Structure 1
């Protein structure tokens, strides 16, 4: 993680944006890099600013927070999302978008403190782990706990409410979200090629043009071709090529 957490505030009410910015000003590691008052503006600014974190209001005209969150998943740099709303009934639906947290308005300072702490934990990677990958990925499936060597994982994808890990040893079905696995695998060479797919770059063997700027790739020992969203192609090639 960089020294500061680059943060975008999105809310159609100016007072709510100002209140949240004031509360976040007490955290020296939170850097407010932009504000947006619509879902459309959120996407534009997130594309340009590449924030690490977005505080996203749910109830906005035209493009609400849920739709904006869905579009954010397509970005090359996918930010963490904290939803905010005055209505608690949206909570269950919000977490379907893999939000890291959910805040109710008016903002409670203690709850916000817990949220920032959770964000810090998610974004922090110990230097030793980043420089010397070690250990195995523990996943629970069918009541058993399997310990997977990250180097043997080919790709991971989300299918409805199930996450599937495809490895050289077989396929595992788990409930852990793709975002959580992506965070746990930061020290290794995994890359998001689509909102629903993570790929081990060490396993990639072929990249082929598809249509509308999108590509397909192949991994070792697998016949299935995986779609690469055009938003990720440039960074993918940068990561793959010497």
Structure 2
């Protein structure tokens, strides 16, 4: 799990950071990153991963700007539909704006809450994130984890993988993105058995192939992207589609 805090008040920073360390120890949470930022641009620069293992506690008013936290949340949501966002703020009057921004916040915690209720709300958010992360990985996500990266992406969004010209790099193509993974094709396939290796340089998601050109040995995807199919893999690839796709 990665936990990010956006808060420009030093007292509140310490309060949140100490509480989260206590929860980490109490529940034996596997937290890879726990980071605090007072500037939205630094927070956004630090976020390199995607998935429900990303939990954000965001203040709404930052550096005197009453909507800076909402804008940061909107940027996070645009990049990552699965990230979990919790607002921790004194500005409860801005709650309706979270719906207008379509941020889908997990919770909206008032800073003035008494200590017991405040800590209980934060704890509930952390435990939900832990549970949701496990459920997402088990049920629907393409999940890749290495020493350097972790990604969770809806499996249905995956088109194909391509080996990069850079050694030990793989390029993941989705409906909307091109993501570079610092690993090998075989390592990804070990972690995600639903992908089909159709060529020494490509592995595809059979569910997203819309057409196969058998003469040219090319798989076509909804957005016009294509990948190659090896001659020796054509029969197996067609079988993965449930039959011949013209």
TM-score, normalised on structure 2?
0.50
Q: Deviations over 1:164-197 (max 9, x none)?
A: xxxxxxxxxxxxxxxxxxxx653234359xxxx9
Moved more, 72-81 or 94-103: 72-81
Structure 2: distance between partners of 1:24 and 1:103 = 15
Distance change in 2, residues 1:17/1:206 (3 Å): closer
Pairwise mapping of residues 74-113 of structure 1 onto structure 2 (< 5 A)?
74-75=78-79, 79-94=83-98, 96-108=102-114, 109-113=116-120
TM-score, normalised on structure 1?
0.51
SS at match of 1:102: strand
Instruction: Select the residue among 18, 22, 25 that pairs with 2:18.
Output: 22
Structure 1: distance between partners of 2:91 and 2:76 = 22
Structure 1: distance between partners of 2:49 and 2:136 = 26
Structure 2: distance between partners of 1:80 and 1:204 = 25
Deviation for aligned residue 1:78: 5.2
**Residue 137 (structure 2) aligns with:** 186
2:2, 2:34 within 8 Å by CA — same for their partners in 1? Answer: yes
Pairwise mapping of residues 165-176 of structure 1 onto structure 2 (< 5 A)?
none
Q: Which runs of 5+ in 2 are unaligned?
A: 144-152, 163-171, 196-201, 204-246
Instruction: Select the residue among 58, 61, 65 that pairs with 2:60.
Output: 58
SS at match of 1:83: strand
Is residue 2:38 matched to residue 1:37?
A: yes
Q: Which runs of 5+ in 1 are unaligned?
A: 131-183, 208-214, 218-225
Structure 2: distance between partners of 1:7 and 1:122 = 10
**Residue 160 (structure 1) aligns with:** none
